[in-house]
Every structure is written in structure tokens, then in C-alpha cells.
């Protein structure tokens, strides 16, 4: 009589072996989220290895309570590891970070676009370089403190929005590839931030009340132009501020000081009529900042490059697909259709939207009210 073969139960990270036999590399920035992620896994009995990347050393940014991956943050990550009893390593990735993230950040602004360095950091340094290190260390997986959920679907792992919608980081992780997603784990995706801080206090972590990092961690005092001027000195070139007809209304110091949708700081005085003016387009080649009324910001079509698809099938299969999209991290998902013609990918919005800027991301979600599953996304190159 044949006997059924019993399968080993899966642990919380999805492996058919004990926690003690499962090696996990945890990316630790020095903040409360990654610290709780590492401490929780260690408490569950996993073989945890903490790794912190030293990414920059920009003086004031290092001293800021809202920075990450530098100075005090490295000390905080090391202290969590000591308190919790797992090894911790610091890797110098300043050169990689400068080349892949900071220089791209500066050059994107100089081209008249608005970059998202957090996405580039995840796309390159963290999920490319650090993930390779984790594999070299013999890890079964790499865990991070991001607020997003990895769900095992019928065709493999899927990326879903976090339980805590206010902290959801799916917009910043749209470039995660299927291969990376197979190796990654996000233990905090089912928690809200208040629960994370409660766990940090319960475990006695030194970072329990530490402030969250700001969106652009390497920008001291929030002045992104200081960073651009430092690494691209004399790159800013003055030019004209013009209306939609090409009439010169004033001058600017450089296109890097402006973003699409900007209203304040145009310096045009009172001679522009009664309606307020907004930056509606930036032409870096012509050194022009084009302004117009708010209505001129409306766009219905979004053209994309470097599209990453993690939905079912291939991106070609998705031609004509109804989806939800986010064109800014802080905006709610809106209805659209995806159009694919060879290498050209276009998103057509159901209703026109304003302030959609080249350099930002357009992230795809499944067409459901909760827009739960992330399907990928791309970088906005132009709009119409």
C-alpha cells in the first residue's frame, strides 16, 4: 500500500525548513521600519544578517534626524543588531549611490524633468547591488522594511499594496522585477505604522521614537538645488519664461529651479493678467520655462520609457487593458487604459489630470476599487 508523502510546512517566509535553517539578509537603513523587520525575524528564530549601506556623507544631511544610511543611522542599525543578537555589516556604497542615484537626480533636473531618487535607489543600489550581496552571503532571501505585500499567486509572487494605505510604498517599488520579487520579503506589509512603533517599543529598540526619514534622504534642509549646484557646478543656464504664444514674460536662472505645476516663485510680478500662472512645460534645450493658466496643465496621454511589467502574461498581452494608475506617490489611483505598440507604451487617462511631470513615474495597478495588485510602471517622458 502506497504511503502519502507529507510535505514540510512552510515557515513565515515561505520556505519548507525551520527558521533556524533559513538565512535572511535584512537591509537596514537605521530607521524604525528596517530595525523592527530585522528584530522580528531574529525573534522568530531566523538566521538574520543585517547589512547597512553607507550611501553618502553630505555634512548637514548626515546630522539631520530625517536622513538615512549615513552617520548616526549606521550607528543605530549596529546598535539594534547588538541588542537583538545578530551580525551586522556596513558596506561602503558611496560611489555606486553617487553614480546611480545622485548624478541621475541632478541630470534629470537639468533636463527639465522631476526625478524620483527613491525609485532609482531601490532599482539600482538596493534591489540590484545589495540583493547580489545577499545571494553571495548564501541567503535564502532578502527582507526589507518597506510597506508593501508580497503575495504568492497562481503564476508566482505578486506585488500588492500595503495594509496601511497611508504608508504604502508600491509607487516607489514599481521597478521591482519578477526575479527580484522571487527573492525579496516584506515582513511589515500587513502592519500599520503605529503597530510597527509599538513593536519597536515592546522589543526595547533604541529607534522606537526615531522620526521617519524624508523622501530625499541626501538633500540637506530640503534644498535639492544645493545638491545639484555642488555636483554640477555652473550647469544652470539662464533663459526666458514665456507664455504659450512664446511671449517673453521674464527670465529664470536655470530650468532646474522649476517643476511642472509650480505656481510660486516665478518672479513675474503683477504684469501677467488676473489669472495665476503655472509652469506647464519645460524646454531644457531652448532654456525656456513655459507658463500658462491652470487649465493648460490638463493632460490625458502619458508616454513612458523603461517600462517594467510584473502583471500576468507579458506587457504585449496588456494592450488595451483597463488599469488604475498613480502619477504621483501622494495621489489616489485613477482609471486609465494601457496601450502597447512595440516598444512604445502609452497610458490614456479616463479623465484629464493636471501637473503630470516628465521624470516622475506612472505606476500601474489592477482595475479594482482597491487597486490592490501592482502591475508595474514606467518613467514619464512626455504628456499630451
Question: How, if at all, do strands 141-143 and 184-185 pair?
Answer: parallel
Q: Active-site residue among 37, 69, 121, 362?
A: 121
Q: First-to-last CA distance in the chain? A: 70
* Positive or negative torsion for Cα 179, 312, 170, 186: negative
Q: Is 217 a catalytic residue?
A: yes
Cα(114)–Cα(100) distance, rounded to whole angstroms?
A: 16
Q: Active-site residue among 37, 141, 217, 362?
A: 217
Cα(331)–Cα(207) distance, rounded to whole angstroms?
A: 30
DSSP string, 12-35: TTS-SS-GGG-EEEEE--SSHHHH
Q: Is 118 a catalytic residue?
A: no
Contact 357, 114 (CB under 8 A): yes
Residues in the chain: 384
DSSP string, 194-237: HHHHHHHHHTT-TTTTPPPPPSSTTSGGG-HHHHHHHHSTT---
* Positive or negative torsion for Cα 104, 359, 363, 29: positive
Residues with catalytic function: 121, 217
Amino acid at each position: 500500500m502506497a504511503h502519502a508523502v507529507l510535505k514540510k510546512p512552510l515557515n513565515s517566509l515561505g520556505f519548507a525548513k525551520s527558521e533556524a535553517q533559513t538565512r535572511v539578509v535584512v537591509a537596514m537603513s537605521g530607521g524604525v521600519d528596517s530595525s523592527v523587520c530585522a528584530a522580528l525575524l531574529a525573534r522568530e528564530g531566523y538566521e538574520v544578517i543585517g547589512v547597512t549601506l553607507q550611501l553618502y556623507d553630505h555634512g548637514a544631511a548626515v546630522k539631520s534626524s530625517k536622513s538615512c544610511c549615513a552617520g548616526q543611522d549606521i550607528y543605530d542599525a549596529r546598535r539594534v543588531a547588538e541588542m537583538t543578537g545578530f551580525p551586522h555589516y556596513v558596506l561602503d556604497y558611496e560611489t555606486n549611490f553617487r553614480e546611480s542615484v545622485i548624478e541621475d537626480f541632478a541630470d534629470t533636473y537639468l533636463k527639465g524633468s522631476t526625478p524620483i531618487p527613491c525609485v532609482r535607489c531601490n532599482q539600482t543600489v538596493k534591489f540590484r547591488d545589495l540583493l547580489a550581496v545577499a545571494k553571495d552571503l548564501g541567503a535564502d532571501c532578502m527582507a526589507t522594511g518597506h510597506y508593501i505585500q508580497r503575495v504568492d499567486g497562481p503564476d508566482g509572487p505578486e506585488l500588492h499594496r500595503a495594509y496601511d494605505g497611508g504608508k504604502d510604498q508600491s509607487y516607489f517599488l514599481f521597478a521591482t522585477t519578477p526575479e527580484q520579487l522571487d527573492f525579496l520579503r516584506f515582513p511589515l506589509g500587513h502592519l500599520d505604522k503605529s503597530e510597527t512603533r509599538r513593536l519597536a517599543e515592546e522589543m526595547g529598540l533604541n529607534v522606537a521614537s526615531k522620526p521617519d526619514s524624508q523622501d530625499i534622504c541626501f538633500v540637506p534642509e530640503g534644498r535639492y538645488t544645493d545638491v545639484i549646484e555642488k555636483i554640477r557646478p555652473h550647469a544652470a543656464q539662464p533663459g526666458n519664461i514665456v507664455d504659450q504664444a512664446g511671449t517673453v514674460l521674464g527670465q529664470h536662472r536655470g530650468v532646474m529651479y522649476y517643476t511642472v505645476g509650480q505656481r510660486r516663485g516665478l518672479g513675474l510680478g503683477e504684469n501677467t493678467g488676473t489669472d495665476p500662472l503655472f509652469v506647464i512645460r519645460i524646454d531644457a534645450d531652448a532654456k525656456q520655462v513655459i507658463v500658462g493658466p491652470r487649465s493648460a496643465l490638463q493632460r490625458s496621454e502619458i508616454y513612458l520609457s523603461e517600462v517594467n511589467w510584473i502583471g500576468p502574461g507579458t506587457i504585449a498581452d496588456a494592450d488595451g487593458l483597463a488599469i488604475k494608475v498613480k502619477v504621483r506617490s501622494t495621489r489616489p489611483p485613477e482609471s486609465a487604459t494601457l496601450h502597447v505598440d512595440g516598444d512604445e507604451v502609452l497610458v490614456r487617462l479616463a479623465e484629464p489630470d493636471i501637473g503630470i511631470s516628465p521624470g516622475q513615474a506612472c505606476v500601474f495597478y489592477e482595475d479594482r476599487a482597491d487597486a490592490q495588485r501592482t502591475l508595474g510602471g514606467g518613467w514619464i517622458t512626455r504628456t499630451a
